[in-house]
Amino acid sequence: MLKSLGLLVLFATLSFAQVKNECVTCHEGIKDIRAQNSGMMQAILQKADEAGVKGNDCVVCHGGDPAATKKEEAHKGTLEYFTKNEGPKAFYPYPASPWINENTCGMCHPNQVAAQENNLMATEQGKIHGALWGFGAKEGYKHTYTNFGGKSPDPHKRLGTQSYQNYMDALKKLEPQGFLDETKELPQAPTAQEIEKDPTLSVYTYLRQECLRCHTGGQGRKRRGDYRGIGCASCHVPYSNAGLYEGADKSISKKEDGHMLVHAIQSSREVKVEVNDVHYSGIPVETCTTCHNRGKRIGVSYQGLMETEYQATFDNEGNGQPKLHTKRYLHLTEDIHYSKGMLCQDCHTSNDMHGDGFFRGANLGAVEIECQDCHGTTQKYPWELPLGYSDEFDTKPKTGKARGTTKTLAAYLEQGAIPADKGDGFLLSARGNPLTKAVRKGDKIMMHLSSGKDVELKPLKLLKKENKISKEGLVAMDQIQAHTDKLECYTCHATWAPQCYGCHVKVDYSGGKQNPDYLAASKHHVNGKTGEVDTLKDFLVDGKVTETRSYLRWEDPALSQNGEGRVSPTIPGCQVTLTVIGKEGNTLLQNHVFKLKGVENNGTVDVPEEGVNSIVMAPVQPHTVSKKSRSCESCHTSLKAQGKGINGGKYFADQSKTTIVDLMSADKKLLVKGVDEQIPAIPNLKHDYSVMIDENGTQVQTVGNHWKLSQALDKKTRDKLDRQGACLACHQELPSKDLAVSLMVHSAKYAGITVDNEMHKTIVHKSILLTAWVQVLGGLFLGGGLVYLYMRRRKKMRCKNE
């Protein structure tokens, strides 16, 4: 990023005659970026005054020459009254671009701009590591590479409270592979000749052509649903699915795609954006989904969107469903927070999104919030929990003093929308930063949402006190302590998750330079305008990446242990099955799954001697939370939940062998010579993609590739989870295998009792109570009898001795 003097210093030292603003001569009808009476616009105008261009807010952000009457001169960017001073003289068509925004946005928001370089949305550190792992774990667990490389700042410059800084310092010592002080820039895309020598280098082609389009250093691809800005504008400037302008500036085409929806900044509840006579505040979820629609798919999942291969349904002209983010969707149950009108920023903090200035490996390293931060538990209010609760990075629940609340905010947080009434203080995140939208009011919480709504939240402890938790909920959350201590809340409450099994990647180098290198395009910039804005043809590299998969699911995700040490929903991560075609059309790798030796073993799960497959099952927060949880049976009677695969991995035939389908005899001898392979083999795939552990309890693929504690469920946990065959325990005696049982069945029959589900549960419940009391009373009787016999014997012995 540029390290020039910056407009902040420049404007403070200039005092020139006022210059007429000719910008609006061409841009007649354009709306102010913010309302004239807003604090932000007043700050912008103050900068304009300091530069001697009073009233001209355009030049503060865009530079250029506001006195010029021709576009070519205005956009040259050489301001006559700046020529004797060092500093930016350029015209910035994209003033929020991270390559120059320290000279624009950074004038007023220096902390956020300074932190942007190393946040996950800029570095894509976790995504890069995931791909490298799938291609053979080239860097092991170490998160060596980021998009452009860099260094973390002085530790004392980390954004956040002292408690947060101490927390992150401790976490870095615990997980050093994810919290590096310095990272390397991702290697360049290989040439076709280099691929002939080492086909695994194709990972860099794959990353640069496919995975690395979404970072905030570039504008990404121009596809329906993927249009967005650069840098700060990635989130803070609205773009529609079509990328078309709908404002009143006549100089901006309304037919050419790639434009912002309107000239406005969207941010907090205090900022009202007007579009087509509609006013809104906050950052719409759809802004976030321009990126968060691949990988874990948390953005579209939050909206209830689950991708499908099919085109249904049809519109009134008979057209199939249009593609969004290059996919089509089913509409499943939305996350309850989305249904209640909560935007992403209502939960996620400034540090979550802007970063704290330091490299943070992957999502668990960056996200500081937990469900219990607002909801608490049935036994403790949020402010009664210790810092680190549910964010332990340990297998034991966090204990310690209550975290409390705070009314003190850092200056950079004060720049946001802060409620005037701080009540009993702001709640704290699991890592010790204030949650500026969550204010304690006695035993309740007032959520001041970015949309402008205020929502009262009752924590679980209060709901329990008011008898507003269902019987099932109390059993799960209050009675079974292990659920609270060892599970994430969303393990039960995320009722579905997108599961894309098998990531079949083909990288074909036989056609020369075909696809663009998005990372190289974004790094090439002129005054913040990155290479992909105008054309990607200048950034073509050898190879063409195509992707497909084996199958999709959404219901009842599997379970594993995540990096925080808690049981979590688990979905396919980067399950790379790689095919590489050389420059002459020869196959260098075919349906190849890499084996990893000496890497994947966290100590409590057995791994095979030949190593585990590098395909990954990833613990995840699916963002599909529902008030009603998944059923007990969906975990406790499910082989999939245990990690043994869908239907125990028994649906699929041996995928390590090629399937040929043609005319055959009864004993499967081919009757024809000219045959094609219907399903070519995947030599290293001995189990279905959904299988994490085999029937012997051996882990056969990677489970989480970022954090030390990520793994398949160990035997002790699986034994507690597994309650298959419980029905048989009773029904092996029903209806007539035992005299007493037979009598009970016949009595019920002649009494006209219908054993429906409710009656069945009543019988089981009574049977448990009866059995328990019989055993307890029997034990007491037996114990009392033994004591009686013992005392009687002693008495006889005393009498005999006397």
In 3D, which of 349, 347, 433 has the Cα closest to residue 166?
A: 433
Give exposure, 339-378, as e/b (b: 16+ Cβ within 10 Å). Answer: eeebbbbbbebbbbbbbbbbbbbbbbbbbbbbbbbbbbbb
Please tell me whether the peptide bond between 735 and the residue prior to it is cis, using omega within 30 degrees of 0: yes
pTM (predicted TM-score)? 0.92
Distance CA 269, CA 280 (A): 9
Distance CA 759, CA 140 (A): 55
Which segments in the chain show pLDDT lower than 70? 1-19, 77-89, 599-604, 802
What CA–CA distances, in Å, run from 559 to 50, 247, 289, 333, 497? 59, 48, 26, 20, 12
The reported pLDDT for the residue numbered 600 is 55
Longest dimension (CA), the chain: 127
Tens digit of each residue's pLDDT (9 = 90 or more) over 263-295: 999 999 999 999 999 999 999 999 999 999 999
DSSP H or E stretch at residue 204: helix 202-209
In 3D, which of 559, 561, 572 has the Cα closest to residue 602?
A: 561
Contact status, residue 707 vs residue 364, Cβ threshold 8 Å: yes
Tell me the two tokens of residue 654.
Answer: 């041996």
Expressed in angstroms, the distance from the first to the final Cα of the chain is 101
Residue type, 256: E
Tens digit of each residue's pLDDT (9 = 90 or more) over 758-780: 888 887 888 888 888 888 888 88
Cβ burial of 729 (10 Å; 0-12, 13-18, 19+) is exposed
Distance CA 291, CA 226 (A): 7
The reported pLDDT for the residue numbered 19 is 60
Contact status, residue 307 vs residue 294, Cβ threshold 8 Å: no
DSSP H or E stretch at residue 363: helix 363-366
Tell me the two tokens of residue 617.
Answer: 């099952």
